[in-house]
Amino acid sequence: MLKIGIAEDDPKIAALLKSALEENDYQVLTVANGIDALDLFSSESFNLLIIDVMMPGLNGIQLCKHLRENTVQTPILMLTAMGTIDDKVTGLEAGADDYLVKPFHLKELLARTAALLRRQPPIEAKTDHKFYFDDLVLDTYSKEVSRGGKIIELSAKEFVLLELFMRNPNRLLSRQFIAEQAWDISFETGTNVIDVYINFLRKKIEKDFERKLIHTKINMGYILK
């Protein structure tokens, strides 16, 4: 069952929303202020959050920002008071996915709710943006890498580095180039991070496999081939 969290300080509106949504077979939890909302929405996982902009303590915008900063990805529907047109911009900027101006018809709320929930599985639709090389697959959306069908766990930096190679197959990449692209350093530092990370990558993507993919060209750089 799909689970919806509501942050709304007006008890009448909160009750109205709750009953309307429950009638449509959603499971609903409500909180009456921003602080409680932050606690609840951060600790439990929801399919959708409905947040009122005007709340005592922590308002909807601030709440929204905090949640996004805590990497909460749940779709957020923002409820704004009429007249505050700029709330739309601010709300979206803070990380909301849609907004609704009060007063609204319950019908519209239900429609938008359904739309947002329907939009959740677009992760499946995002099957593009994959790079293939030999039996290695790198997906820039899910940030997943696999070789021969077997998922390989990479850290952020490891992923960025491998992505660079996958975007430039059969091209020799100098350390200088790699440093600029993956580490944003253009000057000469005495570091050997790149070597270390090449080593990390090799351990993860080559160790248990037959073919080597990342080759060293001494005094030149590395090449994926």
Partner DNA sequence: CATCCATTTTAATCTTGTTTTAAGATGAGA
Partner DNA sequence: TCTCATCTTAAAACAAGATTAAAATGGATG
CB of 128 to a second copy, least distance (A): 7
Query: Alpha-carbon distance 165 to 151, whole Å?
Result: 18
Stretches 49-57, 192-200, 202-210, 214-222: which one binds a second copy (CB under 8 A)? Answer: 214-222
Residue 2 tokens read as 């799909």
Q: Which does 57 bind (CB under 5 to 8 A by kind): a second copy, DNA, none?
A: none
**Residue 147: which H helix or E strand, with range?**
strand 144-147
- Contact with DNA (CB under 7 A) among 127, 189, 208, 212: 189
Nearer to a second copy, 33 or 168 (CB): 168
CB of 59 to a second copy, least distance (A): 18
Indicate whether 62 belongs to the interface with a second copy (CB under 8 A). Answer: no
Q: What pairing do the DSSP bridges indicate for beta strands 98-102 and 130-133?
A: unpaired
Residue 98 tokens read as 């849609």
Helix (H, G, I), strand (E, B) or coil at 23: helix
Q: Which does 225 bind (CB under 5 to 8 A by kind): DNA, a second copy, none?
A: a second copy
Tokens 């905090």 belong to residue? 66
Q: Which of 61, 9, 54 is nearest to 30 (CA)?
A: 9
Indicate whether 190 belongs to the interface with DNA (CB under 7 A). Answer: yes
